[in-house]
Structure 1
Amino acid sequence: MSHARYVGRVGALAVALGVGLAIGATSATAWADDAADQTSTSSGDTSSSQVAAADSVAADQPAVGGAAHDAASGTAGPATTTLTTTTSDSQTTTTVGGDGTPTVTFSSSTVDLSTANEHGAKTDAAESSPSTTPEVPDVRPTGMASTEAVEPIESTQAPTGDPAGPPDNPLLLSTLALARRQPSDEATVPSTVGPAATTSAPVAEATAAAATGTTSWLNGLTIVPGASVQLALQQITAAETVLVAQTWGQANLVSGVVAVVPLTLLVQAQLWLSAWQAVTPGAQGLVIATAGIPIVHQLANLTLDVTLLFPSVAQSWLGTAHTFTQLVAVFGSASAANQAMQLMSLAAQNGRVYGFVPLTMKAVTEPVVYMSINGGPSVPVLVDTGSAGLVIDPRYVGLPGLGTKTGSGTSGYSGGLTYTYDTYTTIVDFGYGIVTAPTSVNLVGAASQDAFAAYFEPAGVVGVLGIGPNAVGPGPSLPTTALPGELKDGVLIDETRGVLIFGPNPRPARVGVAGAPISNLKARTGNNPLQVVWVIIDSGGVTGTIPTYLTGTGQLTGDLPAGTTVSVYTADGLSLLYSYVTTAFNTPVVVPNDSLMNTGYTPFAQQPIYSSNVGVGGIGTTYFDYG
């Protein structure tokens, strides 16, 4: 099912249920601007920006694809209005008002947004000089609409598997990805995109650490699912308190009457967010209970899909409330209006739950999405759970205002590609209102651009978006963790429905395993006994790899014979994650003297798989969801 049909199906049912009008009232993300005039303080090692967990785009960032917002327009309060956030230990306290105006204070548990130093020192390298921009393959305009979804209970059982990583192995990096295959008459199979092998000494140290499966590219970021939405609810309550205190509380009857409208709308926003929190577990439970029952299961899925719209409805009410609050200022309560609108802006950012973008399968095995970097064109990139960090040909990046590089390195993929890159900090726009805060992006060096382009040309992409928290580099971070609100929680790859979803897992999990993508599991071929194996669950792994000891025949090289059953289980051997019978096209490459297996694309083709940025030790968790 395509992305358009998926969203359209949900939207049609929403209209039937009477929520379509609310959704259409206001664009959920086109309005969600940043509060520009506010002060932030921090204590200890925990950073605070605006309000803890409000990981919003900076107010002075350049517009990207038309989705950036002018935070200073209509939202900043007067000089006497302050919004102060103080973070101490695990609590955030926000105080609104002061200087003669009533103050409102509320607290919440914080999400640790502090970041450690990037893995390894950066080596000096000459800044690349991008050549003239070539023709962009299948460039699409950046979308503006947005669709939100819902935070579920992430798993029906605790993740299994030893969190410790695989032993050091000199062949590890080369076997995380397949050797390049030649195109066939049936399908053009691209070179495998796997974790990067780094050759510059400082980065190599970081890569070797990541290869153990215990090093995290989250760089100290601790994500608490649901914390951003809870903070949004508190900010809505604070906005209501400010409006009441400075209109009716000041005996300003005219502005008080006007404030009734935004107050009513704010209540609606609260109701929809609260309904999302309350209804989601039951909707997910219904999907689980009806699994395997035709028609009934489809209806259960449709019911769950509708709940994914609840946060979008809340965003619509927030946007409309923001608009009507401006009238409160006109009728004599400018201070109340400005304070309330600042809080609404923050609530809109924190209330972002899910973002949907179309997912296209190219060359049979490659999941592709479109993005714009630093205001450049919207171009195709590979979604790769098997690596960490965004790597792209700079000829497809908006270069004006890019700034100076923050690091350099040399990396590569199996099949003969080695490339240099320079790291910059800029904005990534996925379209549909999904825009990151400034984040690290690796631009391929000038001398490597042609080889890089030729290597990925069969897959029809110009870059790789690595989203694996404990994958092997190149890092230095995951751009998806720079998204606002709950969008940073993780990524669902749903190839069947043709959609990529940012945020908490929207579907009920069948089973979860520790590590994303590297996890300690059990596997077998045919009727051979189950054996322990370290597995990289790799959306960019094409048809995968398998170590010799799992073949049961002593095979050292070549493809695993067609007709062989491959089965992968949780570490305790009790839960089947996926199983398939190899074919002439879809079969893993046998790798001798290695203990690591690469799944390739097959498990992603069979079921939705969610890569979570939440997990013990920052290594993430991989969830195999109900379809």
Structure 2
Amino acid sequence: MKMSTLVVGAVAAPAIVTSVCLLSAAAAGATTEEAGASSVSKSADTSDPSTPPSSPGSDTDEPGAITASDDDADPLSDVDADLDADDDESGGAADFNADDDSGESIPAGEAAGSGDADADADQSGPESVPNSARRYASESLVTLDTVVDEEPEADTVDLALQQIAQARDELYSATWDSGLILAGLAAMLPQMYLSGATTSLERWEHDHARLQEEFAATVDNPFAHWIAGLRIENSIQRTIRVQRQLDAAEDWLPVVGWFGPRDAMAAIAELVDKAADNGLVYQILDLYMENVDGVRHVNPIMRMSVNGGEYVDVLLDTGSLGLVIDPQLIGLKNIGAPFDHGTGCYGDCSVEYAWDAYNIPVAVNGIESSPTPVLVVTLDTWYALSETNGAYDGILGIGANNPYPFPSNPLTALPGLLNQGVLIQERRRRAILGPNPYSARVTLDGAPIIRDLVVQVGDHDRWLVETWIDSGGIFGTVPKNVVGGDDSVPAGTPISVYTEDGETLLFAYTTTQANKPDVVPGGPVIMGFPPFQAASIYVDFRGSGKTIFNHA
């Protein structure tokens, strides 16, 4: 008995001491959270060691396509230097030229934003990068929503909180209530982590909508607006810390099992794992901005894994729907048989590819989705497609109301709230999955197709025309009637895009010799990268999608 007691004491002592020490550390961490410390994701240029070698090595400012777009924004603020403070100025009369008739035009208004392109910019992508699919969806909604964000859904967060509470109760029951004193002492640390996760999720549910309102209300007070932005960033980071807290609790549970309740700890670990999935609110993804034809920071590239394969670069494309991927870069384990076959093309459809559809998971930031349709291009057609691509291995289409090449967005298969949408902040070199973290300035039905917006090119009449907000559309296109029958858009031409009533400026920029839209005989206006360089844009995945221009 004495020998047994000594052995137990020798084993238990380190655990108890460790528990006390880490308990103190956890308490210290909680106080920093109370103080509002903010940890902000760095840009892809510095934080991702796997960023492609063609990524710009320096952000020394050179003239770019959009005013201030070459300046890396302050990582602690959500700034859009290209939008004027008076974006809500009146656009003029109430009648518009329609894209299918010749009604009376609105008097020309002032255009905002200008900039220059630099022909000697960093190494650029290939000559031709596929614009998003041009196949039109059968229908898109047309209404202008309010500028105040709706409160995000929190069903999975509520479920996560219930699961954490159940895990804490079962942990107490399996240790202290069962008379296992050493196990109870060892359980102090996972209990602390679970308690911290509960507090963080509850504070997000309680505070985040109010922080969004504060951010919207302080747009005219730069200092207060900056502070409000910091508080939103801290709220985002708080939800990300929940994952670390739950992972730490799950990792510690086997130690509690050393002192008796092994089976109970395994069951509790499974419950905590489910809570971690349901408690996912935000994930910050690094974006590498690829250069195209001498214009800097055009194509947004993110990293993801397909079916457990290596992480690869994919174009984040709001103008199409469905993931198209290089067949050599996916995991093959348990891939199964394809459930569908087809062909597709991008841009002018000069290159067609064949694909097989597999129901397999994808992963971002180490978070795996449930099985979801992925279009794996056949090896014999991938080479031709890759020749028209930039420096990426796939195209991730997230535009809900242009269901081409396949009506499925793999990001909607992610757990928790990550499947609601994504905030694209190209100037901050990041995208944020989850509900819209910032406050909406203007909410438009449809993504990428918005029917209709008012577009003015130079001194030509304003036109009410179907418009695509397409992150993969490069420099975009405009129909000939919008430019008065001209064959091209000269450098130095201001382009402004307004809401349907012509009252609210969404964004504006000035063309350069390198950055100007192509003129096409007809069809919609396709806005490529300029709106994403000028504004912080949230793309809602649900239904037919929403395109949301956030407050700067």
Task: Give TM-score scaled by structure 1 length.
Answer: 0.63
The correspondence of residues 417-496 of structure 1 with structure 2, limited to 5 A, is 417-430=351-364, 432-456=365-389, 459-496=390-427
2:510 is aligned with 1:581: yes
Query: How far apart in 2 are the matches of 1:417 and 1:315?
Result: 43
**Residue of structure 1 equivalent to 2:324:** 391
Please list every run of 5 or more consecutive structure 2 residues that lacks an aligned counterpart in the other structure: 1-27, 38-50, 56-87, 89-97, 101-117, 142-150
**Residue of structure 1 equivalent to 2:492:** 563
- Residues 513-532 of structure 1: CA distance to partner in whole angstroms, max 9, x if unpaired? 11111112322324555432
**Residue of structure 1 equivalent to 2:130:** 193
SS of the aligned residue for 2:193 comes to helix
Moved more, 387-396 or 441-450: 441-450
Query: How far apart in 2 are the matches of 1:139 and 1:564?
Result: 30
Q: How many aligned residue pairs are there?
A: 436
Query: How far apart in 1 are the matches of 2:36 and 2:507?
Result: 41
Percent of aligned positions with the same letter in both sequences?
Answer: 36
- Kindly provide the amino acid, as one letter, of the partner of residue 516 in structure 1: A
8 Å CA contact 1:521–1:534 kept in 2: the answer is yes
Q: 1:445 to 1:188 in 2, by over 3 A?
A: closer
- Residues 44-69 of structure 1: CA distance to partner in whole angstroms, max 9, x if unpaired? xxxxxxxxxxxxxxxxxxxxxxxxxx
Q: 1:20 to 1:452 in 2, by over 3 A?
A: farther
**Residue of structure 1 equivalent to 2:139:** 212
- Residues 347-402 of structure 1: CA distance to partner in whole angstroms, max 9, x if unpaired? 11111111222101112311111223234333322110000011122133344543
**Residue of structure 2 equivalent to 1:290:** 218
8 Å CA contact 2:194–2:249 kept in 1: the answer is yes
Q: 1:375 to 1:549 in 2, by over 3 A?
A: same
**Residue of structure 2 equivalent to 1:262:** 190
Q: 1:370 to 1:259 in 2, by over 3 A?
A: closer
- Residues 244-301 of structure 1: CA distance to partner in whole angstroms, max 9, x if unpaired? 4555556666655654543343222111111122232333333323325445433332
SS of the aligned residue for 1:283 comes to helix
Query: How far apart in 2 are the matches of 1:255 and 1:16?
Result: 24
8 Å CA contact 1:547–1:593 kept in 2: the answer is yes
Q: 1:267 to 1:188 in 2, by over 3 A?
A: closer
**Residue of structure 1 equivalent to 2:519:** 590
**Residue of structure 1 equivalent to 2:534:** 606
Q: 1:361 to 1:256 in 2, by over 3 A?
A: closer
Q: 1:461 to 1:325 in 2, by over 3 A?
A: closer
2:18 is aligned with 1:18: no
SS of the aligned residue for 1:593 comes to coil
2:550 is aligned with 1:622: no
Q: 1:233 to 1:585 in 2, by over 3 A?
A: same
**Residue of structure 1 equivalent to 2:238:** 310
- Kindly provide the amino acid, as one letter, of the partner of residue 139 in structure 2: T
8 Å CA contact 2:132–2:347 kept in 1: the answer is no
What's the CA shift for 1:538? 0.1
Task: Give TM-score scaled by structure 2 length.
Answer: 0.71
- Kindly provide the amino acid, as one letter, of the partner of residue 591 in structure 1: V
8 Å CA contact 2:125–2:391 kept in 1: the answer is no
Indicate which of 304, 320, 339 corresponds to 1:406: 339
8 Å CA contact 1:407–1:422 kept in 2: the answer is yes
SS of the aligned residue for 1:308 comes to helix
The correspondence of residues 486-565 of structure 1 with structure 2, limited to 5 A, is 486-525=417-456, 526=458, 530-551=462-483, 553-555=484-486, 558-565=487-494
Query: How far apart in 2 are the matches of 1:314 and 1:397?
Result: 30
The correspondence of residues 70-469 of structure 1 with structure 2, limited to 5 A, is 138=53, 190-196=127-133, 210-213=137-140, 225-247=153-175, 259-334=187-262, 336-363=264-291, 364=296, 365-399=298-332, 401-415=334-348, 416-430=350-364, 432-456=365-389, 459-469=390-400
SS of the aligned residue for 1:280 comes to helix
What's the CA shift for 1:460? 1.5
Query: How far apart in 2 are the matches of 1:371 and 1:264?
Result: 33
Q: 1:463 to 1:308 in 2, by over 3 A?
A: same
What's the CA shift for 1:417? 1.5
**Residue of structure 2 equivalent to 1:9:** none
Query: How far apart in 2 are the matches of 1:387 and 1:247?
Result: 53
Q: 1:377 to 1:351 in 2, by over 3 A?
A: same
Q: 1:328 to 1:21 in 2, by over 3 A?
A: farther
Q: 1:300 to 1:190 in 2, by over 3 A?
A: farther
Query: How far apart in 1 are the matches of 2:196 and 2:413?
Result: 29
Q: 1:311 to 1:276 in 2, by over 3 A?
A: same
Q: 1:378 to 1:342 in 2, by over 3 A?
A: closer
8 Å CA contact 2:423–2:433 kept in 1: the answer is yes
